[in-house]
C-alpha cells in the first residue's frame, strides 16, 4: 500500500516528507487518536525515522542527502543522528562513498524481538506454505497500538509494496476486523470510530458477526478498495500519525462495510475478493496476530472456503504453539 519511502524518490505531497518532518515534529491527540503535532521527544522521532527509512530498503545504501531529503530534517541534525547510530553499530557507514546501511546491532535487536514474539517465527513458515499451496500472496501481521504491522510475507501479488514486511496499516475499518471481532464493546467502539466519519454502526457489527460465524474475514474487492491501496502506497508508513490524508479518510469511510456476509457467498458464481484473514489468539483469548491472503481476483465459494480453512488450520497451529486459546465465542 505504500511506496513513499524510496529515499531519493520521496515525492512532495505524498505524505512521506511531510510525515517525517512531522515525525520530527511529532504527534498530538485528537478525538483520542494520533495526529501531527508536538511530540514528547522529537529527537527520538528522528532516530526512529532514520532507522525506519533504511529498513524500508535494506539493500539500498543511503547518502546523508538521501536521508535529509526523505525525512525533511537538516543536514546537521541528520549528521548527528547517523553518527550516533553508526557509533552504536545500528548503522554502518561506507568509508568510500559515505553512504549508510543498517548495522549489526539491528540484527541483534531483531533476533531478540523474534524471541519475544515466537509467533512471528512460526508465522513466516506458515505464510510460505500457504502461498505455495494456494498460489496466493500471504502475510502475517501483529497489532501495534493503532496499526497493524506486517511481520511475514510470501508469494507475489499486484500490491507487493503494500504488504512488505514492516509495513504499517491503519487499524481502522475495514482493516483489522479479526483483531476486534471477539473483543469487548469498548474495543469495537474505538475501532469503529477511527475513520473520523459518522456512519451507521449496524453494517460494521454485521461484518464482525460474519467474521465470528466463519472464523475468518472475507473482504470484497471493490474500486474504492483498489483506490485505497494505491493511496496508501503513496503515504508514509504511519498514515494514522498523518491524521490520514483526506482521500484516504474518504475511502476508509466508503469501505466501512467491506465484509462479505454469510448469505452473500451462497450459491454459484464468482466473488471478487480483496483479502482474507484469520486470527491467532494469545493466552487471554485475544487476537495477537492474523494470517492473511490477498487474492485480488474473483473466487468461487468453494475456493473461498478452501482458503479460509487453510488459514484457520495454520492459525490454530500457531495458537497452540504459543499457548494461546480461542476466546469465548460471541454471537
Per residue in 140-198, pLDDT tens? 999 887 788 888 999 887 666 667 787 777 788 878 899 999 999 999 888 888 765 55
In this structure, the answer to whether residues 156 and 214 fall within a common structural domain is yes
In this structure, the answer to whether residues 265 and 200 fall within a common structural domain is yes
What's the confidence (pLDDT) of residue 224? 67
93 lies in a domain? yes
Quote the number of domains for the chain.
2
What's the confidence (pLDDT) of residue 113? 67
In this structure, the answer to whether residues 182 and 152 fall within a common structural domain is yes
In this structure, the answer to whether residues 201 and 276 fall within a common structural domain is yes
122 lies in a domain? yes
Strand stretches in 13-172, DSSP E: 27-30, 33-36, 91-93, 100-102, 137-144, 147-154, 168-170
The three grid cell numbers given for residue 185, joined into one nine-digit string: 464493546
In this structure, the answer to whether residues 99 and 158 fall within a common structural domain is no
In this structure, the answer to whether residues 227 and 154 fall within a common structural domain is yes
In this structure, the answer to whether residues 282 and 149 fall within a common structural domain is yes
| pLDDT beneath 50, residues of the chain | 1-38, 237-244
The three grid cell numbers given for residue 289, joined into one nine-digit string: 496476530
Across-strand partners of 273? Answer: 220, 297
Whole-number Å distance between alpha carbons of 221 and 125? 27
2 lies in a domain? no
In this structure, the answer to whether residues 149 and 103 fall within a common structural domain is no
In this structure, the answer to whether residues 214 and 289 fall within a common structural domain is yes
In this structure, the answer to whether residues 139 and 42 fall within a common structural domain is no
Residue 323 sits at φ, ψ, to 5 deg, of 75, 25
Q: Is the pTM of this model over 0.75?
A: no
What's the confidence (pLDDT) of residue 39? 59
In this structure, the answer to whether residues 73 and 200 fall within a common structural domain is no
Q: Of 87, 109, 131, which closes a domain? A: 109
**In terms of residue numbers, what domain contains 33?**
7-109
In this structure, the answer to whether residues 171 and 80 fall within a common structural domain is no
Amino acid at each position: 500500500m505504500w511506496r513513499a519511502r524510496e529515499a531519493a524518490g520521496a515525492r512532495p505531497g505524498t505524505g512521506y516528507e511531510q510525515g517525517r518532518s512531522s515525525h520530527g515534529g511529532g504527534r498530538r491527540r485528537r478525538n483520542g487518536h494520533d495526529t501531527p503535532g508536538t511530540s514528547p521527544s522529537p529527537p527520538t522521532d528522528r532516530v526512529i525515522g532514520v532507522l525506519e527509512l533504511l529498513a524500508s530498503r535494506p539493500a539500498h545504501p543511503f547518502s546523508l542527502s538521501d536521508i535529509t531529503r526523505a525525512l525533511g530534517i537538516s543536514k546537521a541534525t541528520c549528521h548527528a543522528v547517523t553518527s550516533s547510530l553508526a557509533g552504536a553499530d545500528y548503522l554502518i557507514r561506507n568509508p568510500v562513498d559515505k553512504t549508510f546501511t543498517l548495522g549489526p546491532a539491528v540484527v541483534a535487536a531483531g533476533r531478540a524481538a523474534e524471541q519475544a514474539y515466537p509467533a512471528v517465527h512460526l508465522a513466516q513458515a506458515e505464510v510460505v506454505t500457504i502461498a505455495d499451496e494456494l498460489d496466493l500472496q500471504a502475510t502475517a501481521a501483529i497489532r501495534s497500538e493503532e496499526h497493524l504491522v506486517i511481520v511475514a510475507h510470501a508469494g507475489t501479488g499486484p500490491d507487493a509494496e503494500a504488504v512488505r514486511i514492516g509495513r504499517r496499516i491503519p487499524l481502522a475499518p475495514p482493516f483489522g476486523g479479526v483483531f476486534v471481532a471477539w473483543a469487548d464493546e469498548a474495543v469495537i467502539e474505538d475501532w469503529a470510530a477511527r475513520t473520523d466519519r459518522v456512519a451507521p454502526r449496524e453494517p460494521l457489527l454485521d461484518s464482525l458477526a460474519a467474521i465470528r460465524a466463519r472464523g475468518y474475514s472475507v473482504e470484497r474487492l471493490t474500486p474504492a478498495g483498489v483506490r485505497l491501496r494505491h493511496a496508501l502506497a503513496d503515504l508514509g508508513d504511519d498514515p494514522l500519525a498523518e491524521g490520514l490524508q483526506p482521500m484516504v479518510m474518504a475511502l476508509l469511510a466508503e469501505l466501512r462495510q467491506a465484509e462479505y456476509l454469510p448469505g452473500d457467498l451462497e450459491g454459484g458464481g464468482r466473488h471478487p475478493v480483496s483479502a482474507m484473514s484469520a486470527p491467532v489468539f494469545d493466552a487471554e483469548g485475544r487476537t495477537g496476530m492474523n494470517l492473511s491472503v490477498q487474492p485480488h481476483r474473483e473466487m468461487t465459494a468453494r475456493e473461498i472456503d478452501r482458503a479460509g480453512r487453510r488459514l484457520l488450520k495454520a492459525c490454530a497451529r500457531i495458537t497452540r504453539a504459543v499457548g494461546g486459546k480461542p476466546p469465548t465465542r460471541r454471537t
